[in-house]
Amino acid sequence: MLNFTVGPVMSSEQVLKIGGDQTPYFRNDEFSQVMFENEKLMKEFVYADDDSRVVFITGSGTAAMETTVMNVFNENDKVLFVKGGGVGQRFVDLCDVNEISYDEINLDFGCDITEEILDSYSGNGYTGFLVNICETSSGVYYNLDLISEFCQKNQIFLVVDAISSFLANPLNMTQQKIDVIITGSQKALACPPGISVIVLSQNALKRVENNKSKCMYFDLKNALKNAERGQTPFTPAVGILLQINARLNEIKSNGGVEVEINRIANLANDFRERISDLPFEIKTESLANSVTAVHCKNALEIVDKLKLDYGIWINPNGGELADNMFRVGHIGYLTIEDNDKLIEAFHDLEKRGIVHD
């Protein structure tokens, strides 16, 4: 099996091996040391300030999104978010459930944000801005510098969902003045699903401190208090936290976050160059490194045949684009040789008349 979906993705040998081990007891110093190291490496990889903190939530990426919305905002806030695809909708739902008022910036599928669009929302009293910086459904990487400038100018609290782009596109929490960064275990972190991560700036920590928790399990005050001793309030996904530790250390020993980002960018660029002689089209503006949305004919059959005849998984699409688009992920334990196999399979499908104009 060769997995080019955008998550869960393929894991390294070392991460896989840990998945086969017995789960150790965790209310002890050994596990606390693992958690402290996880926090330290996460902060290093997003260029967070020394006084920022990291919380590991047991739950998929959306759990960290909801924890953030519930703990840093309240009914006095008015938030703005970017909605340009399937993932953007999630913040709408979260704000509805948590009774936080909001406005949406609606963008066409596959389009980036512009300064003009942002300017039209200036001075409207927004207190929070939420963005899925890589819109995983279209593969756009929104212009974070523009968003950051807009938030600084209007003194808006900035939350970046980097679930599919942490380790794939550069992110600098300090320079880009990001208040919260969210990521998850099953995307470029290349571990099984089950843990999501929230990095909180000092500004975010103040908001949490002054806010009243509306949920017991996802209470960030409690999580932060426990994290001071390298622990979590309740039993976490212990095995995945150990796998995350191995993976973060792997990246560190291979040269750090920049090396990993370049590796993924190379894979993405290699793939994009090599499909140029196939009847495929890339329409996304400002491409993220994590994923390529490919427009074509007969997408459903291509996805199906790749899986059944070649053992290769790519992402099908739902909705209107189901038969006209598929997505290929570049995150996880993939190599250029894996790209060779995928491209070869596409050419073979072209010979068989399944890939066609």
Ligand X SMILES: *Cc1c(COP(=O)(O)O)cnc(C)c1O
- Binding footprint of ligand X on the chain (CB under 6 A): 7, 60-62, 87, 132, 134, 136, 161, 163-164, 184, 187
Select 188 or 204, whichever has its Cβ closest to ligand X.
Answer: 188
Q: Which residue is nearest to ligand X (CB)?
A: 61
Q: How far is CA 293 from CA 129, 141, 262, in A?
A: 26, 12, 20
Select 134 or 156, whichever has its Cβ closest to ligand X.
Answer: 134
Q: C-beta of 236: minimal distance to ligand X in Å?
A: 16
DSSP line for 9-27 = ----HHHHHHHTSPPPP-S
Q: C-beta of 228: minimal distance to ligand X in Å?
A: 27
Q: C-beta of 145: minimal distance to ligand X in Å?
A: 19
Select 46 or 355, whichever has its Cβ closest to ligand X.
Answer: 46
DSSP line for 143-204 = -HHHHHHHHHHTT-EEEEE-TTTTTTS---TTTTT-SEEEEETTTTT-S-SSEEEEEE-HHH
DSSP line for 46-86 = TT--TT-EEEEEES-HHHHHHHHHHHH--TT-EEEEEESST
Select 159 or 355, whichever has its Cβ closest to ligand X.
Answer: 159
Q: C-beta of 191: minimal distance to ligand X in Å?
A: 12
Report the alpha-carbon distance of residue 69 to residue 94 in Å, rounded. Answer: 7
Q: C-beta of 70: minimal distance to ligand X in Å?
A: 15
Q: C-beta of 55: minimal distance to ligand X in Å?
A: 16
Report the alpha-carbon distance of residue 332 to residue 213 in Å, rounded. Answer: 35
Select 60 or 266, whichever has its Cβ closest to ligand X.
Answer: 60
Select 134 or 314, whichever has its Cβ closest to ligand X.
Answer: 134
Token pair in block for residue 285? 């503006």
